[in-house]
Amino acid sequence: MSGPIFAPKPKNIFPVHIREYFERSHDACPQIEAITGKWNFEDLIPGMSDFDARFIFSDRTAPDEWPVISREVGRVHGEICREHPDRARILEHLPGINLMWGEITDPLSYYPEFHQWTAYHGPVNRLHVFDAYLAARPWDESDELFNLKKFATYFTPYDRAIDPPINMHEFESKYPLHSRLMHYFCPPVQSLVCLKLKRMVRGKMDAFRLARELFPNPGVIDLVFDILDSHYEAPAYYYEPKISELEDMLFSYLKEAYRTVLPDITVIEAAPDDTSKELRAKLGRSTKNVLEQFFDGAKFCRLMMGRIRFYAEDIPHFDSGWLIRHELGRDRKMFYEVTFSAFARIAWNEDMSPDDALERCRGEFLDGGEIRTVRAYADVFSKTYDPAHIKRFAIEVAETMGPFQVVMEKLGTVGRLLALEKGLS
């Protein structure tokens, strides 16, 4: 059997891309004042990694400006993608979390992922304030829950149907190992390292290096580094039996490492034989960080309209079909269902369905027009559409998101004031 054909490791274009992306986005939207990205720079693997950008915005950004910003960033994103076919993978999505300076240092909207951002461009003095705020913040239940939830999500044998190669172009042959090692093995390892050390670890490579010292079976980490150092040019691991052996080895490693971390887990009654399903059930019964759930929905969908509009464009070298279906499958739950159920806990300390919570907001927090705006967004996902015209339906969904985001900005302000009044944290 002949081995896979590998495209050689390409030049690292991330520095050029990040600067251009920031400058062109800032020119279109002056409210954008800094760009950061998840992980350390060394974790961005040329030809394989996308770039999980996060913008930081001026505190003067008004609620009704977000739909315009979302549309404009989507336009810039699409223009760069058309101009640079070699960046299709890097440009998989618009920035996911977009907050103003005051929000990223507001204890009420703290998000553990902040620790995993690397700053690339922006005002140095303000970025130093953000770094100092994070450095002074002690590890707490929010951090533990964040990492346990992430670990529980990935604590399963590798599912070969879950992570298709999209926009990989000449590097698609290397994706099977990238998916297994960096998308589905690294996240739970990194979470276990954070739980063990009781601090957030920013980088993926840093997490692997620390795991080698903290957990049993360091040879597994050595193998991972060997494969990464070769830019995935390890032919034997693309075929049976080696690929199954690798999957079994990685899952066994997670089970052993999890047992090592058991004494460090405080938010649930953890057990050595926990499965992913059992962990998720225990976490579901634990005291939830309701503010984090609320702000995830109220703040983190700010550029989602632009993302979906970008996916609806016809760009010859960018395949967006799976990406659209992925968003359509999760956005209602993330931005409507979770948000309004969490708001009910904040406002009235009651467990309510999102529909009931929305209706109870009528008159007290939202007027009739705002209720209809939210309802239009929530209902659009139940419409039937021709899969052959999924991009047309994506535009229909996007049309509801601009007005919805303005209402979410109002609800976010209300939720913060209520949380302060009730002493929530």
Question: Over the stretch 233-281, which tens digit does the pLDDT of each residue have?
Answer: 999 999 999 999 999 999 999 999 999 999 999 999 999 999 999 999 9
Residue 314's closest CA among 255, 252, 376, 390?
390
d(CA 242, CA 127): 45
- pLDDT for the residue 2: 64
Mark the ranges of the chain whose per-residue pLDDT is less than 70: 1-2, 285-288
Quote the distance between the C-alpha of residue 39 and its chain's center: 12
**Is the distance from CB of 245 to CB of 223 less than 8 angstroms?**
no
In terms of C-beta density within 10 A (0-12 exposed, 13-18 middle, 19 or more buried), how is residue 407 classed?
buried
Q: How many CB atoms lie within 10 A of CB 233?
A: 16
Which tens digit of pLDDT belongs to each residue from 5-55? 999 999 999 999 999 999 999 999 999 999 999 999 999 999 999 999 999
Output phi, psi for 55, to 5 deg.
-90, 150
> What's residue 287's pLDDT?
54
Q: Which of 54, 59, 60 minimizes the C-alpha distance to 35?
A: 54
Q: What is the DSSP secondary-structure string of 112-164? A: GGGGGEEEEES-HHHHHHHHHHHHHSPP-HHHHHHHHHHHHHH-S---TTS--
Q: What is the pLDDT of residue 286?
A: 61
Angstrom CA distances, 14 to 89, 113, 167, 259, stand at 11, 21, 16, 37
Query: What pLDDT sits at residue 28?
Result: 98
The reported pLDDT for the residue numbered 285 is: 66
pLDDT at res. 3: 74
pTM as predicted:
0.96
